[in-house]
């Protein structure tokens, strides 16, 4: 990488930085907004003249802040937040990292350099694609990093085990159905922008004045399940209402239902707390697949069953398409 400084982001800051980003300086959202005038992420490509001096590219391509991008202009993630995002995603050498709208390639290059992952950047601006390839060669990771010139809304990224984003709330929302359909356990990390009603599993806030969020794609378990192991007084059938990683467990009698527990998924890891009337609460943890959930339930100390662990196994009877309760 030629870029050794921390490039600016649109992060909130209370500092009073100079209006134009300077190489090596700590630059804030306020300074950038002041410098860029009306130019905001997710908008057009208007760059104030006072900001046109810094070249984030190389000797072959001069890259300015707010360079053209199809649906959002180029603004770089800082090296610090990029590393924090990749760390939070717990990237291992077997992972395949996709950066959607990869700019100058910083995130895929760091994923390969620091975590040994294979990484792919999808970028619409051909000049940025060419720059990214040169940056990857300079970083010595061309064998593990590739850049594709394309539109993130058309390109396939279903092989990803980690997806990184720095796009904006609206674009994230447009991508959301495809993110939700990724393999269970896939980590999605977004610099600064959320995914609407899909709340994050973690907020990454250890970089001053910057933050990102992590989501872990949950397995789909919404539907009706048969309880295979007799854990009294749990009923034989349980309905699971799923809203992304959040679960509600119910029993149903005709039109009426009773909530019997709450749960949470992290990919295929499941934790539930069962609150059946008249019984001590049971906490159960284990693994969820689309057809079978296997957990070990532990009654709290002091209950009639002591702390003896009980296998709690469920088998799917019916899928409930549409993950939220009507």
Ligand X SMILES: C[S@@+](CC[C@H](N)C(=O)[O-])C[C@H]1O[C@@H](n2cnc3c(N)ncnc32)[C@H](O)[C@@H]1O
Residues that bind ligand X (CB under 6 A): 41, 69-72, 74-77, 99, 101-103, 106-107, 122-125, 128, 151-153, 166-167, 191
Residue number, 75 or 219, with CB nearest to ligand X: 75
Beta carbon of residue 125, minimum distance to ligand X (angstroms, whole number): 4
As a whole number of angstroms, the distance between CA 176 and CA 186 comes to 13
Residue number, 175 or 219, with CB nearest to ligand X: 175
Q: Where are the beta strands (DSSP E) in 103-222?
A: 118-123, 145-149, 162-165, 187-191, 202-204, 212-216
Beta carbon of residue 216, minimum distance to ligand X (angstroms, whole number): 20
Beta carbon of residue 72, minimum distance to ligand X (angstroms, whole number): 5
Residue number, 211 or 225, with CB nearest to ligand X: 211
Beta carbon of residue 155, minimum distance to ligand X (angstroms, whole number): 8
Residue with tokens 């990184």: 164
- Alpha-carbon separation of residue 36 from 33, 57, 83 (angstroms): 5, 19, 26
Beta carbon of residue 7, minimum distance to ligand X (angstroms, whole number): 8
- Give alpha helix (H) positions in 116-212: 126-139, 169-180
As a whole number of angstroms, the distance between CA 180 and CA 323 comes to 11
Residue number, 125 or 268, with CB nearest to ligand X: 125
Is residue 49 left, alpha or beta, with left meaning phi > 0 and alpha meaning psi from -120 to 50?
alpha
Task: Identify how many contiguous H helices and E strands the chain contains and give both numbers.
Answer: 5, 15
* Cβ contacts of 197 within 8 Å, gap of 6 or more: 243
Beta carbon of residue 23, minimum distance to ligand X (angstroms, whole number): 16
Residue number, 153 or 289, with CB nearest to ligand X: 153
Beta carbon of residue 117, minimum distance to ligand X (angstroms, whole number): 16
Residue number, 108 or 218, with CB nearest to ligand X: 108
Please enumerate, as own/partner, the contacts of 35-38 that have beta carbons within 8 Å and a separation of 24 or more.
Answer: 35/65, 36/65, 36/66
In b/e form, how buried is each residue of 47-70, taking b as 16+ CB within 10 angstroms?
bbeebeebebbbeeeebbbbbebe
Residue number, 38 or 232, with CB nearest to ligand X: 38
As a whole number of angstroms, the distance between CA 58 and CA 56 comes to 7
Beta carbon of residue 223, minimum distance to ligand X (angstroms, whole number): 35
Q: How many CB atoms lie within 10 A of CB 153?
A: 14
Length of the chain: 326
Residue number, 191 or 245, with CB nearest to ligand X: 191
Structure token digits, residue 261:
């527990």
């Amino acid at each position: 990488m030629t870029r050794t400084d921390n490039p600016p982001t649109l992060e909130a800051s209370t500092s009073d930085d100079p209006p134009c980003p300077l190489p090596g300086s700590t630059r804030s959202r306020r300074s950038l907004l002041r410098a860029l005038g009306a130019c905001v992420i997710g908008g057009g490509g208007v760059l104030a003249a006072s900001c046109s001096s810094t070249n984030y590219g190389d000797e072959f391509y001069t890259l300015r802040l707010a360079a053209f991008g199809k649906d959002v202009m180029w603004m770089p993630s800082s090296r610090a937040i990029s590393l924090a995002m990749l760390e939070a995603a717990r990237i291992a050498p077997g992972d395949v990292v996709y950066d959607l709208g990869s700019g100058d390639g910083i995130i895929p290059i760091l994923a390969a350099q620091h975590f040994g992952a294979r990484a792919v950047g999808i970028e619409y601006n051909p000049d940025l694609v060419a720059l990214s390839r040169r940056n990857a060669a300079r970083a010595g990771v061309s064998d593990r990093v590739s850049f594709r010139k394309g539109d993130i809304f058309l390109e396939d990224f279903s092989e990803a085990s980690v997806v990184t984003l720095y796009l904006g709330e609206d674009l994230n929302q447009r991508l959301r159905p495809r993110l939700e359909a990724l393999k269970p356990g896939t980590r999605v990390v977004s610099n600064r922008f959320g995914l609407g009603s899909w709340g994050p599993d973690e907020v990454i806030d250890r970089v001053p004045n910057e933050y990102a969020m992590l989501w872990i794609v949950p397995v789909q378990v919404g539907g009706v399940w048969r309880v295979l192991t007799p854990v009294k007084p749990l009923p034989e059938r349980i309905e699971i209402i799923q809203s992304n990683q959040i679960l509600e467990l119910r029993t149903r009698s005709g039109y009426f239902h009773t909530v019997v527990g709450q749960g949470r998924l992290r990919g295929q890891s499941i934790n539930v707390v069962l609150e059946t009337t008249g019984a001590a609460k049971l906490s159960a943890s284990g693994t969820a697949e689309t057809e079978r959930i296997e957990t070990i339930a532990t009654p709290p100390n002091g209950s009639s069953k002591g702390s003896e662990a009980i296998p709690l196994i469920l088998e799917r009877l019916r899928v409930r398409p549409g993950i939220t309760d009507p």
